Structure 1
Amino acid sequence: MSTDLFCEIIAGARPAYVVSSDEVAVSFLDTRPVFKGHVLVVPRAHVETLADLADVGPFFARVQAVARAVEDGLEAAGTFVAMNNRISQSVPHLHVHVVPRNRKDGLRGFFWPRTTYESAQEAESYAAAVAKALPAE
């Protein structure tokens, strides 16, 4: 049984601004977002890297849905979707970053400046906007 930060969030032992949760994946706001509304999508089962993920299709269907919801819910022009495997992976649990993007937003290359939410209420409002834009199950 792993006890990494994301496993703790999945188990409900650590708080997070959850956007969606099902038997395949849990999506929640990054606590140090590149831009507000930056969502992490993690598989419910603990795996460290993409190579370790047994059933890629259902997981990436969730990533695809979150990418659409970030654009729709936050009125973003697009998204930046990225994943690290071991190198630069801050938590040893597979996770995909879905970052809202707009033209001239200042993001350049692979330098990811980070920001913070001004309050819990602001973070909750971003999580709710993305969650509301997800398709009904």
Structure 2
Amino acid sequence: MSHSSSNRLQVLNSHISSSMASEKDAALAAVPSDSPTIFDKIINKEIPANVVYEDDKVLAFRDIAPQAPTHILLIPKVRDGLTGLSKAEEKHCEILGHLLYTAKVVAKQEGLEDGYRVVINDGPKGCQSVYHIHVHLLGGRQMNWPPG
């Protein structure tokens, strides 16, 4: 990573950490819109990310605030109105299936043979903080139940 990219990532991390006391605060403050999200900026390479998988439809990268030893976000490269699962339409079935299949592929790539958790947060009460649908892949430790 270049010095410039490293500085931008540090600034981004600092901004996110200082402006969001908790994920719930972030979710309650977030407003769904068609404006570019941080994920759009990552897709467009405007913000660096630790990418672990990429194909023509999906980008997977490590979460900057991991909640487990392995915490990867999987996002569609084209939002197409799919800001959250509650906004899904029949036209989104293919990308939703591809996101879940890709989660399985990445889990295997990451050595999560003993199990993992897949999470999709939706809306303010679901603690969604970025309104661009995304799948959390969590693993590398024992998951607890109930989850939250």
Over aligned residue pairs, what C-alpha RMSD do you find?
A: 2.2
**Would the aligned equivalents of 1:37 and 1:70 in 2 still touch at CA under 8 Å?**
no
- Give the distance between the partners of 2:102 and 2:128, measured in 1 at CA: 23
What is the TM-score of this pair, normalised by structure 2? 0.62
Shift of 1:25: 1.3
Deviating runs (4+, > 6 A) in structure 1? none
Q: 2:65 — aligned with what? A: 32
Match of 2:46 in 1: 13
1:48 is aligned to 83
User: CA deviation digits over 1:45-80, x for unaligned, max 9?
Assistant: 123112444332244224323324324532441110
Residues 37, 74 of structure 1: 8 Å contact kept: no
Structure 2 portions without partners, runs of 5+? 1-33
2:122 aligned partner, one-letter code: N
The residue correspondences of 1:46-85 to structure 2 (distance < 5 A) are 46=79, 47-53=82-88, 54-85=91-122
Q: Which amino acid aligns with 1:93?
A: H
Contact 1:76–1:101 at 8 Å: present in 2 too?
no
Q: Distance in 2 between matches of 1:58 and 1:92?
A: 16
The answer to whether the 8 A contact 1:25-1:62 is kept is yes
Which of 100, 106, 109 is matched with 2:139 structurally? 100
Give the alignment partner of residue 56 of structure 2, picking from 23, 27, 41: 23
Please list every run of 5 or more consecutive structure 1 residues that lacks an aligned counterpart in the other structure. Answer: 112-137
* Partner of residue 110, structure 1: 147
- Alpha-carbon separation, structure 1, partners of 2:93 and 2:143: 32
| Structure having the higher Rg | 2
Q: Any idea what SS the aligned residue of 1:94 has? A: coil
Q: CA deviation at 1:101?
A: 4.7
